[in-house]
Chain A
Amino acid sequence: MTVNTEAPAAAPAAMTRPPTPNGAKKKQWAGLWFVLPFAAFYALFLVWPTFLGLYYSFTDKSLTGRPASWVGLENWAEAFGDERAWAALGNTAEFTLYSTPPLVILAIALALLVNRARKLGWFLRMAFFAPFVVPVSVVTMIWIWIYQPDGGLLNHYLQLLGIQDAAAPTLWLQDKNTAMWSVVITTVWWTMGFNFLLYLAALQTIDPNVYEASSIDGASWWRQLWHITLPLLKRTTALVIVLQLIASLRIFDQMYLMTGGGPDRATEVAIHYIYISGFEGYRIGYASALSYVLFILILIISIFQFRLFSRKED
C-alpha cells in the first residue's frame, strides 16, 4: 500500500485506512450527525439564550407576557446605580474571599495526609470525597439541622462543652455575624473533595526519586514540602484557584436554600438578586442586564487571573 508511506510519521499505522475513491467526504458528514444532538441542545439552550438575554437587557421584557419595548441603556444605568445590586455583589465577593482560601489550603493538607497514609488511604480518600457527590438540597438540609438553634447538633455540643449558654443559643443562620460563615463552612465541607482529588492526583505524579535524592542530601519533611512538593503543585494550584473563584462567584444554591438571602440581606448574593428581579419581580429585561454585569465581572477576573498565572509560569 503506497498510501501508508504518505501518512504523517506520527500517525500510528492502525489509524490509517485504505482510501475509498468517493467515501472521504461522506465520512465527514457522518461525524456531523453524531455531533448534532449536542450541538442542537447547546445552540438552543446556551448560545441562543445568551444572545436573547443581551437583547432583552435593552428592553422592558416582562415575565407576564406584556409586549416589550426598547428602552435603550435604561436597565444598564439602573443596574449600575442599584445599591442592592452592589450590596449583593459585595456579599458575593465576601463569600468568595472567605471560601476560596480554605478550599485550597485544606484540600492540599488533606491530599498530603492521604498521600502519606498507607493502610487507611482508601478510607480517607472516600471519606473526603464523599460529600461532593451529595446533592445540594440534601447537603443544605443536613446543615440546616446542624445549625438549628434549639436542639441542633452544633449548639447541643457547644452547650455540653460549656462554651455556649443554653439560654442564649447562637442563631447560626439568622445572625448577621455568623450567617455568612455558616454557609462558607457548609460549602467547604461539601465541595472540598473535588479540589482534594485534583491535588491527590497531582501528588501521585511527582517522581519519588526526587524525594529520595533530597533526603539523601539531608532535607527535612518541611523543606521537601516547601521546596519540592508545593512548587511542583503550582500548575494544579493555578487551576484549582481559577475553578474555585468562578464557582464561588456563582454562589446561589446554598444561600437560597439555607438563609434565603437573610438575615436582612446580609447573605443576598448577586445571582439571588438576579433571581428576585427576574422571577419574583417579573423584570426579565432588568435581570438580563444584571446578569451581563456579573458575566462581564467574572470574565474580567478570570482573564486577569489567567494572565497573572501564565506570566508566573514563564
Chain B
Amino acid sequence: MPNHPSPPGSASPAVSRRALLTGTAAAAGIGLTGCGSVAGGLSDKTRVKQWNLLAGADGAVMTEMHDNFSAEHPDIDLEATTFGWGTPFYTRLVMGASGGNASDIATIHLSRLKSVSPATLLDPITLDELKAHGLDPADFPEKIWEKCFVDDELYALPIDTHALVNYYNKELCAQIGVLDAEGRLIETSGVEAYFDILRAAKEITGQYGTSLDTLGGWRQFWAWYRQADGEMTFTDDDYEMDDDKALAAIEVMYKMSEEGLCPQFADGGQCAANFENAASAFVQVGNWEINRFKLFGGDNPEWFSMTEMPDFFGNRRTQGDCHSYVLPRHNSWDPEVRDATIEYAAWMLQHSFRWGEGGGHTPAYLPVTDGTDYQALQPNAEYSGVVENVQFDPDAWFSGSAARLFDETGGIFNQVYGLQMTPEDALAEIKSRIETLLALPNPVD
C-alpha cells in the first residue's frame, strides 16, 4: 500500500478542513476576478483608468504625455490601455460601459458620439467640473463644441481635429520640379493637373506616384465627394446622395490605380512604408503619421513636408474627425476618481501643444493653437488650413470613423483600387449597402 490510511479518528476532520480551505480559496478567486478596483483602492494613489484607440504613431506621443502627467501628479495612478484601432476598440468600450465596468475615461472619435449611445453608455460632464479644473467652453471652436452635446448634455471633450493631408518627399518633388520658390508644393487645380504630377513622380520612383490606404477608401471618397459639394443625408428610412458626384469621386480612385499612379492594395502600414522607401513621392494619409515619418528621417526629420489635400473639384476640402474624451458609464463614481479623471483630461488639453507637434493633430484647445509657438510650428503651419476645410462624416448611427458605413464602403473602395469592381458597380453596391443599413433597427434611437 503506497498510501497508508489515516487513523479512523483523525481522517475525516483533516479532509474536511482541507476541503474547506480549497473551497474558500476558489470562492475568493471568483470574487476577486470581478473586482479589480478593490485591489486598486488599497494603494493610497487615486487610480484613473484610460482606454484609447491610438495604436499609431500618435499613440507614442500620448504615452510620452502620460509620462509627463504622471511625473507632475504623483498622487494619481494613470493606467492607460491602447486597443486596436476601430471596431476592436469600440466593441470593448460599448461592452464595458454596458456593464458599468469600462475605464474611467476613454478617447473616441466625435463622429461616433451618437453611435455609442450616450444616454445609456456614457456619463455626462458638467460645466462646473470643467471650470473647477480651469477649462471654459470658450476655449474650444464653437463648431466642434456643439458636436459634443447630445440632448443638451455635454458628453465629450474635444482633443483635436485631424484630417487626411498630403505628404510630399521634398527631394523627389524638387526633381520633378513641383516646388515653389519657398520649397513648398505648388497648388494645382483639377484631377488631371494633379495626375500629371503623379505621372512625373512615377517616372522617378519607378513604382507609384502617390501612396494611400486602400482599405480606408471612405476617407478619400468623402474628401473628393465633398470637394464636389456632394451631400449625403439620412432620415429614418431614406437617404439622399448625388450619384454623379459620387461616381466622379470613385472614378478618381479607379483611374489612379489603373494607371499605376497608386498601389492596387496597401494597408495603413504599407501605405506609409511606400512613402518612406521612396516607392512614391506622395502619400495621402492622416496627419497622425507625422511622428513616424520624422523618426524615419533620423538625422534629417525634415525630409518631407505636408500640405492640404490637392484641389480636385474646386477646393481643398478633406475628410476628418475629432478625437475626444468621454466618460463611460459608471455604476457609481468615487468622487476622488472623478476629480482625478477630469484633472487628467484638463491637463492633457492644456498641454496639447505636444499633441499637435508630435501627433500632427490640430489641438482643439484654442489657448494652445492661438499661441505664437504653435503658429510657428513646421510643417503644421503649412496644413493649418485643414481646420477650415475639414468635412465630418454624415450624420447617422452607422456613420463615423470605423463605423459600419466606413467599414462596408471601405471594402468596396478597396475593390475599386484593386480594379476588381468598376466605379458604376461600386456605386450601386454602396447604395445597396446603405439601404441595408437603413433597414436595420436604429439601436440608439
- Chain A residues proximal to chain B, CB less than 8 Å: 13-14, 17-18, 20-23, 26-27, 29-30, 33-34, 36-37, 40-41, 44, 60, 62-66, 84, 148-150, 167, 169, 171, 174-176, 260-265, 279-283
Q: Is B1 in contact with A264, judged by CB distance below 8 angstroms?
A: no
- Given A13, A64, A150, which contacts B98 in the complex, CB threshold below 8 Å? A64
14 A-B pairs within 8 Å (CB atoms) are namely A20-B8, A22-B12, A23-B11, A26-B15, A64-B120, A66-B443, A149-B265, A150-B265, A150-B266, A169-B264, A174-B265, A263-B414, A280-B404, A283-B440
- Given B15, B90, B121, B260, which contacts A27 in the complex, CB threshold below 8 Å? B15
**Min CB distance, A152 to chain B, in Å?**
10
Contacts of A22 in B (CB 8 A): 12
Contacts of B270 in A (CB 8 A): 148, 150
- Given A17, A20, A65, A261, which contacts B117 in the complex, CB threshold below 8 Å? A65
A-B residue pair count with CB separations less than 8 angstroms: 120
Contacts of B94 in A (CB 8 A): 63-64, 279, 282
Contacts of A60 in B (CB 8 A): 441
For the complex of A and B, 3 pairs with smallest distance between CB atoms: A37-B26, A33-B19, A64-B117
**Min CB distance, A249 to chain B, in Å?**
23
- Given B12, B19, B26, which contacts A23 in the complex, CB threshold below 8 Å? B12
Q: With A23-B8, A26-B12 in contact, do A63 and B95 touch (Cβ < 8 Å)?
A: yes
Asked if B37 is at the interface of the complex by the 8 Å CB criterion, the answer is no
If A150-B270, A279-B87 are given as contacts, then 12 extra A-B residue pairs at C-beta distance below 8 Å, sorted by A number, are A20-B11, A23-B11, A34-B22, A66-B117, A150-B265, A169-B264, A262-B414, A279-B94, A279-B95, A280-B87, A280-B404, A281-B443
For chain B, the bracket of interface size reads 35 or more
- Given B8, B20, B329, B407, which contacts A21 in the complex, CB threshold below 8 Å? B8
Please report the C-alpha to C-alpha distance between residue A138 and residue B147 in the assembled complex, in whole angstroms. Answer: 40
**Min CB distance, A213 to chain B, in Å?**
42
Contacts of B420 in A (CB 8 A): 174-176, 263
Contacts of B329 in A (CB 8 A): 65
Contacts of B310 in A (CB 8 A): none
Asked if B418 is at the interface of the complex by the 8 Å CB criterion, the answer is yes
Q: Is A40 in contact with B30, judged by CB distance below 8 angstroms?
A: yes
Q: Is A33 in contact with B418, judged by CB distance below 8 angstroms?
A: no
- Given B12, B95, B266, which contacts A20 in the complex, CB threshold below 8 Å? B12
Contacts of A281 in B (CB 8 A): 404, 440, 443
Please report the C-alpha to C-alpha distance between residue A63 and residue B115 in the assembled complex, in whole angstroms. Answer: 12
B72-130, CB < 8 A from A = 87, 90-91, 94-95, 98, 117, 120-121
**Min CB distance, A37 to chain B, in Å?**
4
B1-32, CB < 8 A from A = 1-2, 5, 8, 11-12, 15-16, 18-20, 22-23, 26, 29-30
